[in-house]
Amino acid sequence: MSEKLNSKELSKKITNDYLDEAFNAHEKGKLVGYTTAISPVELFVAHDVIPIYPENHAVANLTAKKGAELCSVTESMGYTSHLCAYARSDLGYRETGMTVTRGIPKPDIFMACNAQCFTLTKWFQVLARRGNLPIFIFDTPEFIMDKKAREEIIKYCVVQLKELIEWLEGITKKKFDYDRLREVMKYSAEASILYKKFLDMAQYKPSPISIFDCLIGMAITVYRRGTPEAIEYYKTLCEEIMENKVNKGIGVLQNEKYRLYWENLPVWFKFSDHAKLLGSYGGVILTSLYVHAWSFEFDLSKDPLVTLAENYVSRFSNSTIEDRANMALDLFKRYDMNGMIMFMNRSCKAVSFAVPSLKDILTKKTGIPALVFESDMGDQRFYSEAQIRTRIEAYFETLDRFQRKTA
Amino acid sequence: MWDNLSLKQVAKYAQDPYPSIRKWVKEKGIKAVGSTIADVPEEVIYAFGLLPVTILGTNKPLKKAPSRLPDNACSLARSNLELVMSYEGDLFDGFVLPQVCDTTQHLSDIWRIVLPDRYVESYLAPRQVTRPSARYWVREEIERLIASLSRWCGKSITDEDLKKSIRIHNENKALLKDIYKIKRKTPSAITNKELFSLFKLSMQLDKTEFNRSLEKIKKGLKPEKKDGYTDVILVGITCDPPEVYDLFDEINLNVVGDTLVTGTRYLQGVVDENGNPLEALTGRHFKRGFFSPIHDNVYKNFEEIKTLYQKTGAKAIIYVHIEFCESQEYDLPDLKKMIKQEGMPIHVMDTEYQTLSLSHLRTRLQAFFESLKGGSL
Ligand code: SF4
Ligand code: SF4
């Protein structure tokens, strides 16, 4: 019997197997469906459509600092420099084939869910036009606070999920299997609980994980939701952290002084530098609503389409600013955080335009000072090293003063 | 107050309609409800005895909005927010705000937070239009809007109220259509600036009154044939600030067709007057032309433009790009390519409310039309 793989090895294996399958999809009579990171992908999985997330591929290139180069190519095609760097780098990749990974297979169909943003819808439309391929927009109206409206929104989403199933049946000429969906949902539900357990490890003091571990650890739930492999991965990951870190009292920083909240996506090409810089001040970023976007709570006693609709429509990015603040406040309380970095990400208008208002609510309710900075998650041309470094340094001075005052 | 406006007054009012609206609502004791574009059913608001006002930005300086919306938000969204935060907020009792793109996704939250004493309701138009669920959802949203306004106003409306409102709005559109038709054939009868000011004011003033002005203006037009105009099609969402139309007039362009939300797309919003008004309002949503955030098919936009171009015999297409409008920016490269491949000359004009340099715009426009004459396009 082969030896049990550790989480890192497991993640690599799952990813490779997944990409192998995706690249050979057609040989196996399967389709490749491009979809958004937040989308009811369980329907794809249940119908044997292999989901591919261009965002994930873009992350790899942006982390490897290929953003500016790829984005410039797209800009030379007439797209403006202020569109999302995922989209710009992806279009650049398609033009040049340049990537630090093995690339991603070409799409057969598209499903864009706008619970995350509207950008993906437009980006997918560009790609769909090129191949004259079918696209399905799963429209999730903002989950506004009115109870009756919410019931209606869920109904509207369920109707659309039925349309999505019909659409898939039409394309594949294959009947949708609801039993298979129930099975996929079971996997998804279990993996989501484990994923949340993993994120919640940050509650320990010192925290055994930082957001940087979360960003690496979230990959599997993003692209392998609805499979038994995802469950195995998060089980292994949680066990490892418990055994190697929590039980031994080992934290990311032993002298952990500041437990920080991060708002928005990370600055991909800087995230390890940020970790080092913050660490030198005794600061560790524990979490963000972004990584919690995949902590679904599927209720398996409900109609699968209903629980899918309820979960996807209520993600932080599709909630009101007030609800989003409450979600963050819950994390502040549970993780006992005492600082916050609010990143205004030029690429991501959908998430960032709420940030100033969110920051107001969070600082008012927690009393904790915030650092707000503007830059881009993937395009180095919008990142000013010296300026951001100075801001971070100044912020820790503020935090020091604040702590002395409140002590 | 708005029933006897001359054509000259119209352009002046359109430049800054708010003092007049402020005076009017005060005199009448009627509440004003602001909306941003697009597709909020103003007939519903009107049926409640409220004044629906479409807020279309301001070129006054930005003071407060930048702290809520950074500089990569489109200037329409930013200047609308500024308008209510710094300049005209007092005249509105409430707002009904649609959410369509990334910029507007959380905009009604922001408005609710910065204007805590005001009624703020979202109008969640579907961002897909081809499936049956879209129709279902539009109807739901219209009903939700009616219920919400009922609670706020403490009164309910009947089908008759709705039908009456629909009639007034339809009449407004019919009058605008007639005037547009005259302009198309005899551009000297009314300038571009005046025509589009009529559209703008129609979206902002009380239509029962303003329709009377439109009737008189229509009668008073002098359709004389004059040469020297170049017919063009305007494509985009809005065309602002209004001085842009002065430029068109200055170089004798004649807008003979458009796809603007503040133009023809508004006229396409005529509601069927027979049958159930809710059904009719729902159905209307699907009759309107292309609007990038809700239509997933740029070919539809292209086909509309091509048809307009061919039908009107226009010489060129002017695409009005609003800086930082991601919705337009994802469509534009392909759309431009399709238009060029079809042999239709296109000029893209970048617009912005606060910092637009009209002289720069003029130079580029003139150069474009010069090259058109020279046949180099
Ligand atoms: S970064 Fe933001 S805009 Fe870009 S794809 Fe993700 S959610 Fe959409
Ligand atoms: S569609 Fe474009 S112009 Fe309209 S609010 Fe969105 S970004 Fe601004």
Residue carrying the six token digits 């928005």:
A264
pLDDT of B351 over the 50 cut: yes
Q: Report pLDDT for B377.
A: 39
Domain-embedded: residue A93? yes
Beta strands in A44-146 (DSSP E): 49-52, 109-113, 135-138
3-state secondary structure of A252: coil
| Helix or strand holding residue B231 (H, E) | strand B230-236
Please state the rounded mean pLDDT for residues B118-146: 97
Ligand 1 atom with the smallest distance to the CA of A55 is: 5
Q: Going by C-beta distance under 8 Å and a sequence separation of 6 or more, which residues neighbour residue A221?
A: A191, A192, A195, A230, A234, A294
Cβ <8 Å between A141 and B124: yes
Domain-embedded: residue A2? no
Cβ <8 Å between B68 and A352: no
Residue numbers of the domain that contains A237: 7-406
CA distance A175 to B19: 62
Q: Report pLDDT for A234.
A: 98
Looking at the whole model, is its pTM more than 0.90? yes
pLDDT of B376 over the 50 cut: no
For chain A, the residue count is: 407
Residue ranges, chain A, pLDDT below 50: 1
For residue A121, give the ligand nearest its CA. 1
Residue A406's nearest CA partner among A369, A380, A355 is A369
Q: Report pLDDT for B225.
A: 78
Q: Report pLDDT for A2.
A: 56
Confidence band of B223 (pLDDT split at 50, 70, 90): confident
Ligand 2 atom with the smallest distance to the CA of B104 is: 5
Portion 328-347 of A in contact with B at CB < 8 A: 344, 346
Domain-embedded: residue A1? no
How many domains is chain A built from? 1
Q: Is A322 on the interface with B (CB under 8 A)?
A: yes
| Angle separating helix axes A7-23 and A211-224, nearest 10 degrees | 40
Q: How many CB atoms neighbour CB A107 within 10 A?
A: 21
Domain-embedded: residue A290? yes
pLDDT of B4 over the 90 cut: yes
pLDDT of B227 over the 90 cut: no
From B133's Cα to the closest Cα of chain A, the distance in A is 6
Q: Report pLDDT for B358.
A: 87
Cβ <8 Å between A156 and B137: yes
Nearest-CB residue to A321 (from B99, B106, B128): B106
Tens of pLDDT along B38-88? 899 999 999 999 999 999 999 899 999 999 999 999 999 999 999 999 999
Tens of pLDDT along B320-345? 999 999 999 999 999 999 999 999 99
| Ligand 2: centre distance to CA B326 (Å) | 7
Cα separations in angstroms, B125 against A39, B100, B105, B142, B190: 20, 7, 11, 9, 35
CA distance B284 to B263: 16
Please state the rounded mean pLDDT for residues B315-320: 97
Sign of CA dihedral A74, A77, A81, A87: negative
Tens of pLDDT along B256-289? 999 999 999 999 999 999 999 999 999 999 999 9
Q: Is B126 on the interface with A (CB under 8 A)?
A: yes
Q: Report pLDDT for B59.
A: 87
Angle at A229 between CA A225 and CA A234, to 5 degrees: 80
- A122, two tokens: 């437009």
Q: Going by C-beta distance under 8 Å and a sequence separation of 6 or more, which residues neighbour residue B341?
A: none
Tens of pLDDT along A325-344? 999 999 999 999 999 999 99
Domain-embedded: residue A298? yes
For ligand 1, atom 8: residue with the closest CA = A117
From B194's Cα to the closest Cα of chain A, the distance in A is 33
| Ligand 1: centre distance to CA A381 (Å) | 18
Q: How many CB atoms neighbour CB A244 within 10 A?
A: 12
Please state the rounded mean pLDDT for residues B139-151: 98
Q: Is A114 on the interface with B (CB under 8 A)?
A: yes
For ligand 1, atom 5: residue with the closest CA = A120
Confidence band of B102 (pLDDT split at 50, 70, 90): very high
CA distance A135 to A137: 7
Q: Report pLDDT for B120.
A: 97
A31-35 and A49-52 as β-strands: parallel, antiparallel, unpaired?
Answer: parallel
Please state the rounded mean pLDDT for residues B154-162: 97
From A19's Cα to the closest Cα of chain B, the distance in A is 28
Most ligand 1 atoms within 8 A of CB, residue of A82, A265, A344, A355 to mutate:
A265
Q: Is B122 on the interface with A (CB under 8 A)?
A: yes
CA distance A15 to A220: 8
Tens of pLDDT along A35-64? 999 999 999 999 999 999 999 999 999 999
Cβ <8 Å between B102 and A320: no
